[in-house]
Amino acid sequence: MTGAPTACPYCGAGLDGSGTCARCGGVTTPIALTGWRPDPTGRHEGRYYVAGRPTQRVRNGRAESSDPTGGQMLPAYVHVPAPRSSIRSTWLATGVTTAVIVMAGAVLGALLWAHHGPGRPPDLDYVQALETAGVMNQFTSQANAVAHGHDVCTQLEHGGPQQGLLADRIAVDAFCPQFNQGFRILESAKISGIFVLTDSVGTGAVEVSGQTCHGTDGYADVGSSTPVTVKNGKGEVLTSTSLGPGTGDSGTCTFSFTFPITEGQDVYVVSVGRRGEFSYSFEQLRSHGVQVRLGR
């Protein structure tokens, strides 16, 4: 039977009785999907992983730095925001934040005590992993994030698809690792679109006002405030924006807009005001964007 490791996997120094490295502070635990691992590139002692994906964060001893070049050498590399302090300091900051929430009556009260004892609870590790990956801003509070994480696992336990955003994958790592295998992180993209209103015969369909233009006459509904809505095949609104100011002349007025989408829908239906609906796949939108022409 193989005994417990006696050397730190990050720097090779000896471990104390608790499995903590006296030199670099590394803790010897089974390799987690989110946390420090020995750097596979050999460029540094340790490299930080998020949801099983290598990042640019590295460390040598207790000193942390950034190595995106080495990270890009590894499969599934993901860039995460640089930490403002060490991992241990991040744990401390998370603990302080949790204490404030406890005083306010939020649901994470027990986590701070667990932080100081053996067996850190998954809630605290989950919140820390979200902050490290730079996706905590998707949630209104730590309590909201934890509730979302448990909801992700509930849906999977009821047969939901094994796919989601990076925050969802981190939730799976923390709360229901039995769904790790086969879980796919959905891609997101910022889509660019143009809507061109033309009046090639000079009938007054386009009006120029200063440096901007807009539709008039039978096209008076086309202007900077015209809504652009994206729905899925069920008619659920995924995102929305507006055309914004048009640029051009009395013959051609062009409106440019952007909107974010995430893959996973069967179809993306884009509508511009009351000027019809246009259906796309995720790949079509990501590759070509939206291009609509209207006019005489």
Least confident segment among 109-113, 186-190, 221-225, 276-280: 109-113
H-assigned helices in 72-196: 87-103, 109-116, 122-133, 142-157, 166-175
Can you give the pLDDT at residue 99? 42
Asked if 69 and 128 sit in the same domain, the reply is: no
Asked if 67 and 42 sit in the same domain, the reply is: yes
Per the model's pLDDT, the better-predicted residue between 77 and 23 turns out to be 77
Asked if 97 and 75 sit in the same domain, the reply is: no
Pairing status of strand 184-185 against strand 163-164? parallel
pLDDT in tens, 32-52: 578 888 888 888 888 888 887
Indicate the residue among 31, 55, 82 that finishes a domain: 82
Asked if 223 and 288 sit in the same domain, the reply is: yes
Can you give the pLDDT at residue 263? 92
Give the chain's domain count. 3
Q: How far apart are CA 145 and CA 123, in angstroms?
A: 9
pLDDT in tens, 62-98: 888 999 888 888 888 888 876 554 444 443 434 444 4
Q: How far apart are CA 192 and CA 181, in angstroms?
A: 34
Indicate the residue among 185, 207, 235 that finishes a domain: 185
Asked if 124 and 197 sit in the same domain, the reply is: no
Can you give the pLDDT at residue 10? 55
Average pLDDT over the chain reads: 81
Q: Fill in the DSSP letter of residue 117.
A: S
Residue 149 structure tokens: 């994480």
pLDDT in tens, 235-263: 999 999 999 999 999 999 999 999 999 99
Range of the domain at 227: 188-295
